[in-house]
């Protein structure tokens, strides 16, 4: 909205549409130009906070049509809001089939070679007793691999669910329970609360980038949220780093190799962290420190006088720290490499020995039978590897962008209204405390004695037990909604 140097926007931005009279000058000439632009050109429906539910978000979340865009279709994480009408066994988005193309081609070539030798040159088939012995061991190994991988995936999801809950609780404490002082201090308190809510959003986004080994602050979703903080990551985000990030390109062959699961084409995800020349700090932890300082000042100023609210505030700050350390543990404590190597080797040995054990009975059918068995066995092995790190950018990883959007949207909802006195929403005729037994509003029930109200509550319990609630069907209710209808206490 403003110029690149942070100054006022050009005069053309404030010009009225053709055919309309120029808008009157605002009373406050010191009001920032951005506010003026918002007043003249934008409605409240157009204003969104970073990553709010109205924001388009990353490319994979912007797919609205049913056409397939190859550039984003095979990139993740998975868009859980998109509905596919394809049968589940025909869907490719999220499938491990692309990464199994080369292994299955190799197994098919291997089985074809020894089948031809067996059928045309010399008999090389062996007894199928190894199928039973080795199959049991391979089954145990694959079961262990899959269960440990899914446990990490599920634990990562639990931590992000805890983060959503903690963010809501902390925001409610700051916005509802923390008092705003009178006069000019009240406006400062309001802006401070909004800043604190932005820091809660910034924590979730910073955690996402940390879990993906993205240590700098030049990303669009977090840049402005932490620009005012004194943090290590901002100091390390030099112009040179920003230039390298903007000009970074992935070659076509490298992208194909990553898509097919070729290990030699995969980049080191920790490359940016390892190449850092300046201290990177721990951005989520630094944000918690700022939030802790904000909470301390609320208590010191008497804005959070209730002891229980103070305890809840600090407990939720500890919960943020628990999420930070828990996700770090999931990220940096994978299955021990000895287990991973042994299970992979045992599985491949079993698959490569399959043709020799099937030749005597299946002959030429050995080739498709081996490929089918390899698809099942190697598929389970690769699924374990696919979900072992739930915080990445693959299709089957957790949709961290969606979680960050949810938290940002929750902050907007909480901050959308000031704390309302009970009388504004309790003492109104539209409030029917005894619905559906008695369709009388608060103002009508206020004229009834306390004893009669308690009797009506008991009557509602009796009707609940006997199933005699006077519910109306949706259509009937809407038809009668605008018709005056009163139910007296005597009728009940």
Label residue 293 by pLDDT band (50, 70, 90).
very high
Residues 374, 453 share a domain: no
pLDDT at 49 (0 to 100): 47
Among the listed ranges 8-22, 110-124, 134-148, 279-293, which one has the minimum average pLDDT value?
A: 8-22
**Phi-psi sector, 467: left (phi>0), alpha (psi -120 to 50), beta:** left
pLDDT at 252 (0 to 100): 57
Range 240-261 burial, b when 16+ CB lie within 10 A, else e? ebeeeeeeeeeeeeeeebbeeb
Residue 398 lies inside a defined structural domain of this protein: yes
Among the listed ranges 200-214, 377-391, 460-474, which one has the minimum average pLDDT value?
A: 460-474
Compute the CA torsion angle 365, 370, 372, 378 (nearest 10 deg). 180
74 touches 99 (CB < 8 A): no
Label residue 490 by pLDDT band (50, 70, 90).
low
Asked if pLDDT for residue 84 goes beyond 60, the answer is yes
pLDDT tens string 256-268: 666 666 665 566 6
pLDDT at 253 (0 to 100): 59
pLDDT at 160 (0 to 100): 96
Alpha helices per DSSP H over 31-117: 33-41, 70-73, 97-116
How many C-beta atoms lie closer than 10 Å to residue 113's C-beta? 12
Domain-ending residue, one of 390, 415, 440: 415
pLDDT at 463 (0 to 100): 78
pLDDT at 89 (0 to 100): 76
Q: Give CA angle at 196 (192, 201), nearest 5°.
A: 145
Residues 473, 334 share a domain: no
Q: Which of 113, 134, 163 is nearest to 355 (CA)?
A: 113
Q: How far is 128 from 440, CA to CA, in rounded Å?
A: 79
Q: Which of 437, 397, 21 is nearest to 208 (CA)?
A: 397
pLDDT at 189 (0 to 100): 93
φ, ψ for residue 133, nearest 5 deg: -70, -55
Q: How far is 397 from 395, CA to CA, in rounded Å?
A: 6
List all residues 6 or more positions away from 402 whose beta carbon is below 8 Å from its beta carbon. Answer: 61, 77, 80, 81
Side-chain half-sphere CA neighbours of 11 within 13 A: 2
Q: How far is 447 from 438, CA to CA, in rounded Å?
A: 14
201 touches 50 (CB < 8 A): yes
Label residue 405 by pLDDT band (50, 70, 90).
very high
Residue 195 lies inside a defined structural domain of this protein: yes
pLDDT at 412 (0 to 100): 94
> What's the distance, Cα to Cα, between the start and end of the chain in Å?
61
Residues 457, 382 share a domain: no
3-class secondary structure, 417: coil
Mean pLDDT of all residues in 103-123: 92
The larger pLDDT score, comparing residue 62 to residue 325, is at: 325
Q: For all residues of the chain together, what is the average pLDDT?
A: 78
446 touches 428 (CB < 8 A): no
pLDDT at 40 (0 to 100): 42
Residues 439, 312 share a domain: no
195 touches 224 (CB < 8 A): no
Q: Give CA angle at 199 (194, 201), nearest 5°.
A: 100
Residues 432, 385 share a domain: no
Q: Determine the structural domain holding residue 463 and report its residue range.
A: 428-480
170 touches 415 (CB < 8 A): no
pLDDT tens string 2-20: 443 433 333 333 344 444 4
Q: Give CA angle at 190 (186, 192), nearest 5°.
A: 115
Mean pLDDT of all residues in 183-189: 90
pLDDT at 487 (0 to 100): 52
Domain-ending residue, one of 415, 438, 469: 415
φ, ψ for residue 225, nearest 5 deg: -75, -25
Residues 350, 461 share a domain: no
Asked if pLDDT for residue 204 goes beyond 70, the answer is yes
The larger pLDDT score, comparing residue 33 to residue 418, is at: 418
Domain-ending residue, one of 381, 415, 449: 415
391 touches 331 (CB < 8 A): yes
Residues 125, 168 share a domain: yes
Asked if pLDDT for residue 206 goes beyond 90, the answer is yes
100 touches 382 (CB < 8 A): yes
Range 424-448 burial, b when 16+ CB lie within 10 A, else e? eeeeeeeebebeebbebbbebbeee
Q: How far is 388 from 392, CA to CA, in rounded Å?
A: 10
Residue 144 lies inside a defined structural domain of this protein: yes
Residues 445, 373 share a domain: no
Q: Which of 224, 268, 403, 261 is nearest to 327 (CA)?
A: 403
- Percent with pLDDT over 90 in the chain: 38
Residues 436, 405 share a domain: no
pLDDT tens string 132-180: 788 888 999 999 999 999 999 999 999 999 999 999 999 999 999 999 9
Mean pLDDT of all residues in 392-420: 90
Rounded to the nearest angstrom, the gap between the alpha carbon of residue 243 and the centroid of all alpha carbons in its chain is 29
pLDDT at 392 (0 to 100): 85
Length of the chain: 492
pLDDT at 475 (0 to 100): 43
Residue 139 lies inside a defined structural domain of this protein: yes
Q: Give CA angle at 119 (115, 124), nearest 5°.
A: 70
Residue 101 lies inside a defined structural domain of this protein: yes
Tokens representing residue 353 in the block: 């020995």
Residue 252 lies inside a defined structural domain of this protein: yes
- Percent with pLDDT over 70 in the chain: 72
Among the listed ranges 13-22, 140-149, 190-199, 295-304, which one has the minimum average pLDDT value?
A: 13-22
The larger pLDDT score, comparing residue 314 to residue 227, is at: 314
Residues 439, 392 share a domain: no
Tokens representing residue 450 in the block: 């306390």
Residues 456, 355 share a domain: no
358 touches 366 (CB < 8 A): yes
Tokens representing residue 174 in the block: 């700051």
Residue 35 lies inside a defined structural domain of this protein: no
Asked if pLDDT for residue 477 goes beyond 80, the answer is no
Q: How far is 199 from 384, CA to CA, in rounded Å?
A: 35
pLDDT tens string 414-458: 999 888 888 889 999 899 998 877 888 898 888 889 998 898 888
Asked if pLDDT for residue 111 goes beyond 90, the answer is yes
Q: How many domains does the chain have?
A: 2
Q: Please name the helix (run of DSSP H) or strand (run of DSSP E) that holds residue 298, with its range, or none.
A: helix 283-300
Residue 485 lies inside a defined structural domain of this protein: no
Residues 453, 356 share a domain: no
């Amino acid at each position: 909205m403003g110029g690149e140097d942070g100054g006022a926007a050009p005069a053309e931005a404030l010009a009225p549409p053709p055919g309309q009279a120029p808008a009157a000058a605002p009373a406050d000439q010191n009001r920032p130009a951005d506010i003026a632009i918002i007043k003249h050109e934008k409605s409240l429906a157009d204003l969104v906070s970073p990553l709010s539910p109205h924001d388009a978000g990353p490319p994979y979340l912007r797919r609205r049509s049913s056409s397939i865009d190859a550039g984003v279709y095979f990139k993740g994480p998975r868009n859980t809001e998109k509905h596919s009408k394809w049968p589940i066994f025909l869907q490719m988005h999220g499938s491990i089939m692309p990464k199994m193309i080369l292994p299955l081609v190799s197994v098919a070539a291997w089985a074809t070679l020894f089948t031809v030798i067996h059928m045309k040159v010399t008999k090389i088939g062996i007894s199928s007793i190894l199928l039973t012995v080795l199959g049991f061991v391979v089954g145990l190994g694959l079961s262990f691999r899959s269960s440990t991988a899914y446990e990490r995936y599920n634990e990562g999801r639990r931590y992000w669910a805890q983060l959503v809950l903690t963010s809501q609780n902390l925001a409610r404490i700051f916005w509802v329970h923390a008092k705003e002082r009178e006069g000019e201090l009240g406006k400062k308190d309001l802006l401070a609360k909004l800043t604190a809510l932005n820091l809660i959003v910034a924590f979730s986004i910073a955690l996402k980038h940390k879990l993906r080994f993205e240590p700098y602050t030049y990303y669009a979703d977090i840049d402005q949220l932490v620009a005012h903080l004194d943090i290590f990551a901002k100091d390390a985000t030099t112009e040179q780093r920003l230039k390298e990030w903007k000009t970074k390109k992935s070659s076509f062959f490298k992208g194909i190799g990553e898509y097919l699961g070729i290990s030699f084409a995969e980049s080191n995800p920790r490359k940016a962290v390892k190449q850092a020349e300046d201290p990177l700090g721990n951005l989520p932890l630094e944000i918690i420190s700022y939030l802790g300082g904000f909470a301390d000042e609320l208590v010191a100023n008497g804005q959070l006088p209730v002891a229980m609210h103070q305890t809840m505030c600090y407990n939720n700050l500890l919960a943020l720290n628990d999420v930070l350390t828990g996700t770090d543990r999931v990220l940096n404590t994978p299955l021990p490499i000895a287990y991973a190597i042994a299970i992979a080797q045992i599985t491949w040995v079993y698959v490569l020995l399959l043709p020799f054990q099937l030749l005597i009975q299946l002959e030429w059918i050995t080739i498709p039978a081996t490929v089918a068995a390899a698809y099942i066995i190697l598929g389970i092995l690769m699924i374990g590897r696919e979900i072992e790190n739930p915080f990445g950018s693959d299709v089957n990883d957790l949709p961290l962008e969606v979680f960050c959007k949810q938290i940002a949207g929750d902050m907007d909802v909480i901050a959308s209204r000031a704390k309302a006195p009970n009388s504004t929403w309790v003492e109104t005729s539209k409030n029917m405390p005894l619905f559906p037994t008695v369709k009388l509003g608060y103002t009508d029930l206020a004229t009834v004695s306390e004893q009669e109200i308690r009797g009506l509550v008991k009557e509602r319990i009796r009707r609940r037990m006997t199933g005699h609630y006077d519910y109306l069907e949706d259509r009937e209710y809407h038809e009668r909604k605008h018709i005056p209808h009163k139910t007296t206490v005597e009728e009940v």
